[in-house]
Amino acid sequence: MLTVNNLNVTLDDLVLANDMSFALEPGKVNVIIGPNGTGKSTLLKTLFGDIHAKSGAISFDNETLQRKQLSRWRKQFGYMPQDIRLDVELSVLEVVLLGQLNTLGFRLDDSVIEEALSALDKIGLLHLADRQVNKLSGGQCQMILFAQALMRKPKILMLDEPVSALDLHFQHVLLDHLDAQTKEQGWITIMVLHDLNLAAQYADNLLVLKDGKLVANGHPSDILTPSLVKNVYNVNADITKDASGIPFVRTIRNIRGASTSKTTEANHQPKTTEANHQPKTKKITSIAEGII
């Protein structure tokens, strides 16, 4: 079990985690959703120990995250960050093998190479094994980094927008594989997604963030409602459920010039996070007004 208790994270003057508490179970896919700039990546980086919390505790199986034991803490993680550029002169196979960096020796075991090739095969990319990664497309790089994260055999696997560059086919290849492996291996999987319908289909548990606060936490069919979507994104939505109870979100566009547009803009100012930047904006506006 990964537990987060009363977590507070502040960067510069932005409050990115505000008294956040939750517990994540093994064998479950946890999906984090929320508006841009609300602190989703920051939360992953804090769990990984890259960003230090102002207060609160993060624990996994009786071990608590501490600055002086970071390398031991991180060995439990597989982490696929948002940045998918692979600007190195390595082959696809070599990049996937780097997932096992902790265990690699001077001589590579055939079994490790077999494992890396099999990881590529399972996601349909074996034919790329010898290609240079700096010549791949963005989507191909994203899939290769996914194969690398799996090679680590993590206890906790974190993925930051892992399907952002993928076509429909590979979105489902990655997420189906992730779901199956999470359940088979008993991993705690945590991923950030922006697509609410993918989140609804794949999340065993959905964590909804807004302005550094956890505003909802539970199974998508229990918590994904039109009022939640309106509250978090300021977007109107119809939500229906399929035969197995999975919610389907259909967003509704604003009609240009409709009376809601002013309210929409006003409501879309995040209160706790970006609100801290408002004085500078106001200052610039008043300088501009003075010039005009």
Exposure on the CB side of residue 81, measured as CA atoms within 13 A: 10
Compute the least distance from the CB of residue 49 to ligand ATP, in Å: 14
Could you give the CA distance from residue 283 to residue 287 in angstroms, rounded to a whole number?
6
**CB of 3 or CB of 10, closer to ligand ATP:** 10
Closer residue to ligand ATP (CB): 67 or 256? 67
Query: Which residue, among 197, 144, 166, has the nearest Cα to 31 in the 3D structure?
Result: 197
Give the pair of three-digit tokens for residue 259: 């009376």
Contact 41, 190 (CB under 8 A): no
* Number of helical (H) and strand (E) elements in the chain, helices listed first: 11, 12
**In the complex with ligand ATP, which residue's Cβ is closer, 34 or 139?**
34
Question: Closest separation between CB of residue 30 and ligand ATP, Å?
Answer: 15
Shortest reach from residue 16's CB to ligand ATP, in Å: 5
Question: Left (φ > 0), alpha (ψ -120 to 50) or beta: where does 257 sit?
Answer: left
Give me the DSSP letters along 31-48: EEE--TTSSHHHHHHHHH
In the three-class reduction of DSSP (H, G, I as helix; E, B as strand; rest coil), residue 255 is classed as coil
Question: Quick one: 16 or 150, whose CB is closer to ligand ATP?
Answer: 16
Cα 167 from Cα 135, distance rounded (Å): 18
Nearest approach in angstroms of CB 141 to ligand ATP is 18
Place of tokens 């009786």: 62
Least separation in angstroms between CB 40 and ligand ATP: 4
The amino acid that residue 158 corresponds to is M
Q: Which of residues 1 and 70 has its CB atom nearest to ligand ATP in the complex?
A: 70
Cα-based angle 278, 280, 286 (whole degrees, multiple of 5): 100
Q: How far is the CB of 54 from ligand ATP (least distance, A)?
A: 13
Binding site for ligand ATP (CB under 6 A): 11-12, 14, 16, 34, 36-42
- Taking the C-alpha atoms of residue 13 and residue 21, their distance in angstroms, rounded to an integer, is 21
Residue placing its CB nearer to ligand ATP in the complex, 14 or 191: 14
How near is the Cβ of 268 to ligand ATP at its closest, in Å?
14
Instruction: Return the number of the residue (35 or 78) whose C-beta is nearest ligand ATP.
Output: 35
